[in-house]
Amino acid sequence: MTPLTQADIDREIAELHAGGGGEHPARDYAPYRSTVLRHPKQPLVPLKDPEAAELTGPVFGVTDVTAHDHDLTRQHLGEPLGERITVQGRVLDREGRPVRGQLVEIWQANASGRYPHQRDDHPAPLDPNFSGVGRCLTDDEGRYAFTTIKPGAYPWRNHANAWRPAHIHFSVFGRAFTQRLVTQMYFPNDPLFRYDPIMNSVTDDRARQRLVAAYVHDLSRPEWSLGYQWDIVLDGPAATWMEEGR
């Protein structure tokens, strides 16, 4: 089968945007080819006892997060390769109030655009000193912070010559396990934005912009790391986009 071209993907996205959209894209979003395999196909099953789902969900405490979980550059004996960055922000509710004690998890590719996963066969080097996963708890002001390596772009075979922009995956659990939000943070001025069906599945331009971190020079550390600011809003009109099917 001949792979779809970028023009094919652009045409599909333009048609979907012209038809309007809600706060989130459809779970079966045609330009993002793997959604056909990932989205639920059966009707949702209502829980007979919703409180039981909360009681049996995972519970996270301070002892579950270790000293180097937030610093992905210090989890191995050697230094990872790539551009060291600091990413920090706040987790907020719809009223702008801080969400305290929130478990924030991240995972990402290394500086070459490769994940240390057995199914990632991208012909780029692995970094023995970088695993690409981290976590932390928000403080009383809802703040989180990570030190990591800026991830590289990588091919993803969605269509011909398909490349993902540099991004970091975030998971935020909300005030309850059933409120979990999984999303992606992008970096400013990436030339791959216009070619990425995942980012362009968000029809509202303001919502897309909320997925892009801001470079903040005052957050950069001299001779150490560049600083980025990215806030996460769990719900409401300014909510951060959530990946469907997660």
Known catalytic residue at 122: no
Question: Residue 130 has which token pair?
Answer: 């970088």
**CA 146 to CA 167: how far, in whole Å?**
14
Full DSSP string of 120-185 = ---SS---TT---EEEEE--TT-EEEEEEEPPPPEE--SSTT-EEPSEEEEEE-TTSGGG-EEEEE
Among residues 29, 32, 154, 186, the one annotated as catalytic is 154
Does the annotation mark 68 as catalytic?
no
Q: End-to-end CA distance of the chain: give it in Å, rounded.
A: 29
Indicate which residue of 70, 114, 164, 210 is catalytic.
Answer: 164
Q: Name the catalytic one among 70, 90, 169, 210.
A: 169
Task: Clarify whether 24 is annotated catalytic.
Answer: no
Q: Which of 167, 186, 195, 228 is catalytic?
A: 167
Catalytic status, residue 76: no
Selecting among 29, 32, 70, 115, the annotated active-site residue is 115
Is 38 in the active site? no
Question: By the 8 A CB rule, do 144 and 18 touch?
Answer: no
The number of residues making up the chain comes to 246
For the annotated catalytic residues, the residue numbers are 115, 154, 164, 167, 169
